[in-house]
Structure 1
């Protein structure tokens, strides 16, 4: 479904992504993790050329996106859903109008676009808020509208660029639940950049760890987080153990009290 070959991006003297290679099978959910600044978001943005790569190729179903002209790229992007860190909703439009906009601009009738937008909002549990404007919605609800906007195109590939990064911790869970449901039904291949360890453990078919612009480890969650071979993997293992021990101590203290 997705094949990345020798992908490279440099900003001045900083090599953000260095000769990266990655393949994702149809229906697979792959989670990319790693420390801030390791190149995760740059990598995912290059897949649909929100950032232009310096070198390398990105194949979606055998088509190299890096070689497409503007019009062909625009059509290819309709097959690739993208959920941003920030919601990027238009404040003057209602939720359903935000979801419809790309469909209408792509040539669909308003009636067909409305039906698809409503179905997409239903998938993320937001159909009852279809007439609300972004200012009337919580951060989690706005991000769910952003997810519906991507789903409305019925994409074959979904790209998630730290979709919970801009949310208050109390709102993160509602977005993760939507993502888990989508991953469970495998309606699209999913590539997710996130720091959410619990989500990765629960949903990912494969974890990819990055450091300094390259992949340092890849495998199923139980392998990467239980028997890591990279320094980044070891750090995640220690963090998981710390969180488990902290939770155990807290529960023990409540029991004693």
Structure 2
């Protein structure tokens, strides 16, 4: 489905992604994690060439993205949904108009685009907010509109670049629930960049850990977080154990009270 080989990207003397190799199977949910600045966002943005790689190959369903001209890239991008950290909604448009926008610009008749947009909004639980503008919605709802916009093209591959990073902690859960539901239906392959450990544990078929631009470990969540083979994996394991101890102490305190 998605095959990345020997991907490399530098910004001046800074090497952001170095000899990156990854294969995501059809219907698989792979979660990419690692410390801030390790190259996760740069890597995922190279898949549809929002950032141009210096070298390496990227193939989506057999199409080598790195060799496409602008027209070919435009066609393949329709098969790749991308959810950004920022919502990137047009403030003067309603939710359904924001979701329709890309479809109409792609030549789909407005009535058909409206139907597709409404179906996408239903998938994220916002059909009743279809006529609301950005200012009338919470951050979580705005991000769900962004997800619907990506789903409207019925993509083969969904890319998520830290979709909860811009949200208040209280709103994070509503977006994660939508992501979990989409992963369960397996309508498309998913590659998710996130710091949300609980999401990764419950949803990922495979965890991929990055450090300094390269993959340092990958495997099933229970293996990577339970029996890590890398320093980064060990740090995640210790963090999970700390959270479990903290949660247990909080629960005991409530029971005593």
How many residue pairs get aligned? The number is: 257
Q: What does residue range 81-92 of structure 1 map to in structure 2 within 5 Å?
A: 81-92=81-92
Instruction: String of CA shifts for 1:153-173, please: whole Å, max 9, x gaps.
Output: 000000000000000000000
Q: What is the alpha-carbon distance in structure 2 between the residues aligned to residue 227 and residue 89 of structure 1?
A: 42
1:13 counterpart = 2:10: no
The two structures have a TM-score, normalised by structure 2, of: 1.00
Q: CA deviation at 1:73?
A: 0.3
* 1:179-209 CA-partner distances (Å, limit 9, x unpaired): 0000000000000000000000000000000
Gaps of 5+ in 1: none
Residue 143 of structure 1 deviates from its aligned partner by: 0.1
Q: Which whole-Å deviations, capped at 9, do the CAs of 1:128-184 have from their partners, x for residues lacking one? A: 000000011000000000000000000000000000000000000000000000000
Give SS of 1:102's match: helix
Q: Which runs of 4+ in 1 moved over 3 A?
A: none
Q: Deviations over 1:80-106 (max 9, x none)?
A: 000000000000100000000000000
Q: Distance in 2 between matches of 1:248 and 1:255?
A: 11
Tell me which residue corresponds to 1:26.
26
Equivalent position SS for 2:223: helix
| Shift in Å, 1:62 | 1.1
* Paired position in structure 1 for 2:145: 145
Unmatched segments (≥5 aa) in structure 2: none
1:185 paired to 2:185: yes
SS at match of 2:49: coil
- Is residue 2:102 matched to residue 1:70? no
Cα drift, residue 124 of structure 1 = 0.1
**SS state at 2:198 partner:** helix
Question: Does residue 1:50 correspond to 2:50, yes or no?
Answer: yes
What is the rounded CA distance, in whole Å, between the counterparts of 2:60 and 2:146 in structure 1? 23
Output the CA distance in 1 between the equivalents of 2:137 and 2:253: 38
Question: How much has 1:255 moved relative to structure 2?
Answer: 1.2
Q: Report SS of the residue matched to 1:59.
A: strand
Offset at residue 72 of structure 1 (A)? 0.8
Q: Give, in whole Å, the separation in 2 of the partners of 1:112 and 1:224.
A: 45
1:61-140 maps to which residues of 2 (within 5 A)?
61-140=61-140
SS at 1:10 equivalent? strand
The separation in 2 between residues aligned to 1:107 and 1:64, in whole angstroms, is 25
Counterpart of 2:221?
221
In structure 2, the partner of 1:166 is 166
- Taking the aligned partners of 2:101 and 2:112, their CA distance within structure 1 comes to 12
- With normalisation by structure 1, the TM-score equals 1.00
Displacement of 1:19 in angstroms is 1.0
Corresponding residue for residue 253 of structure 1: 253
